[in-house]
Amino acid sequence: MSQITQNILETRLSAADYQKIMRLDNPAMYDFIATYIDLCSPKKIFVGTDTLGDIRYTREAALRNREEAKLGIEGHTIHFDGYYDQARDKAQTKFLLSSDKDLGPELNMINREVGLKEIFHLLTNSMAGHELFIKFFCLGPTHSPFSIPCVQLTDSAYVAHTEDLLYRQGYQEFIRQGRKAKFFKFVHAQGDLEEAVLRLLVSKNIEKRRIYIDLEEEIIYSVNTQYGGNTIGLKKLAMRLAINRCSKEAWLTEHMLIVGIHGPGGRISYFTGAFPSMCGKTSTAMMNGETIVGDDIAFLRLIHGRVRAVNVESGIFGIIDGINDVNDPLQWRVLTSPAEIIFSNQLVTEDNIIYWNGKPGEIPTVGVNYSGRWYKGKVDKDGKEISPSHKNARFTFCLDILDNVDPLVHDPVGVELSGILYGGRDSDTSVPVEESFSWIHGLITKGACLESETTAATLGQEGIRVFNPMSNIDFLSIPIGRYIRDNLKFGEKIKNPPRIFGVNYFLKDRDGQWLNDKNDKAIWLKWMELRVTDEVDAIRTPTGYIPTYQDLKVLFTRVLHKTYPKKEYIKQFTIRSSENLAKINRMMTIYQTRVLDTPEIVFTVLKEQQKRLIDAQAQYGNYISPERF
């Protein structure tokens, strides 16, 4: 440890906190912490360990520092982000890259030297008058081949509290790994604050919001923002670091839920699934009758010849919009019961209870929400009515409070995968559920060709269909072509890789009416579980294997206790040749013009599917009933 580093730590930390840092026995950690203490100049510093007392201090600081306020139900608190700070800022999320490196046109970059100069300027004295929280976490289970220790520096007690709920504590993991620890680093500063709703403090200078990713030093910088997607460093920001690292080490970091689907005789088959935000990801992970391992991010490794996966996190930062007691009973029970939960950007009623869009019961007529004092019919500056709760309003809690948490959620070697599914918002092309022909076919046609309509989870216009390979384009830190190649190579090493499926919860008929009920996904999941265990047959179509009517009819009766008319089956599983061919043309253009170094196998597989569709179209027409196959 240099003399400068030692002087900073000894003079700025309390004796107790200094000893906490020294116990880590990691000179790289000492230098990192000292550098940003000196740069950001906090008024006060707290070093957190894994103890309940330190965790409690962070939780109480969020109230004391006016970033959260208590609600009427024990353990519930409310946080408000600034009015214009309620989604991921994709435009200002950039990779810091040297001039000789390029990630391709789809990824946002800035010259590393220029970006560091800017971010250091914004961070200088940024924590003056604020309290700095130094927190230690672990991505993945501790004492595991998946473990990645992390250190978070933030002057936001809300961010620190949120991460206490979302991640496994990592102080002891740092001690275990000692000087061998290859850790991720996060620096977040709220910047100047201003008083907003319920006198809570929010970031003021949103026009100077920056989220920069330094792949060389594995550091995330975030400044002048509070919204979790921009500030909770261990979440999607850490995904970028992990994707870059795993590409070099031959494992995978994916934007995926992990769920245990229960089959006959007490059997559990584990699936991962990739969905863009607001496309049914959390509700799939939380399906009634199944068990959840994770709802958002997964690490996948090949262990003893089998693909195993862990939940990177140990909590949920979920979208609350539309959650109700009928369709989401597990989440509903937790969200309406005493427990440690952070709510963000919902309506607070006059009796200090949360209301979110779609919550059962009477809609309040007045309250307080992200826009300030709210009343029914209130409009924004453009004349658009302001909903009671923001569309991207969130909740945060630990997985362990759920009734359906899987017993293997913290297993150091994770769960063995039987299947992988990909799904997005697709109103006119794909059938509700379909199995790919092979690992290569599935990764390319279901994963690499995933499209979805934009939602309120990101800044910008909603309802635009966008290219989103593996639902991961926003979080990639390597060129798309290399990312696809990494996935393909991963499967090549496996004798019997997990089967790959496509799902579509948002299919409409030609009159614009929904063809899927919200809870129908339970049937598609049960059918996939029976497929991976070879207990049901399937129909081969030009785009993949689809269920037989008889198998689905039995499942609808057994699982949802409802009849399933054959006419519904035919509407849902009709192959739409023209729409599928149009999608292939879109994908061919994208991979020819927008993606660097596209693997040639992508074009081969797409051309093969194109030919199958053209042949079927010539024989049966544009809309082909499943009975034709």
Catalytic residues, by residue number, are: 279
What are phi and psi for residue 110, nearest 5 degrees? -145, 145
**Helix/strand/coil for 409:** coil
- Cβ–Cβ under 8 Å, residues 94 and 109: yes
Tokens of 138: 């672990």
DSSP 236: I
Cα 262 from Cα 290, distance rounded (Å):
6
Tokens for 195, please give them.
């008083």
Closest-CA residue to 354 (of 80, 537, 576): 80
In angstroms and rounded to an integer, the radius of gyration of the C-alpha atoms of the chain is: 25
Question: In sequence order, which ranges of 411-565 are alpha helices (DSSP H)?
Answer: 439-442, 480-492, 521-532, 549-555
> The tokens of 240 are what?
């970028």
SS (H, E, C) 6-62: HHHHHHHCCHHHHHHHHCCCCHHHHHHHHHHHHHHCCCEEEECCCCHHHHHHHHHHH
Give the Cα separation of 521 and 530 in Å (integer): 14
* Residue 354: burial class (beta carbons within 10 Å; 0-12, 13-18, 19+): buried
Question: How far apart, in whole angstroms, are the C-alpha atoms of residue 577 and residue 613?
Answer: 6
Decide: 504 and 576 in contact? Cβ < 8 Å.
Answer: no
Q: Which residues pair with 624 in a beta bridge?
A: 575
Distance (Å, whole) CA 392 – CA 455: 9
What angle in degrees, to the nearest 10, is found between the helix axes of 52-64 and 157-166? 140
In our burial notation (b when 16+ CB lie closer than 10 A, e otherwise), range 500-529 reads bbbbbbbbeeeeeeebbeebbbbbbbbbbb
Cβ partners under 8 Å of residue 446, min gap 6: 421, 422, 434, 436, 500, 501, 502, 544
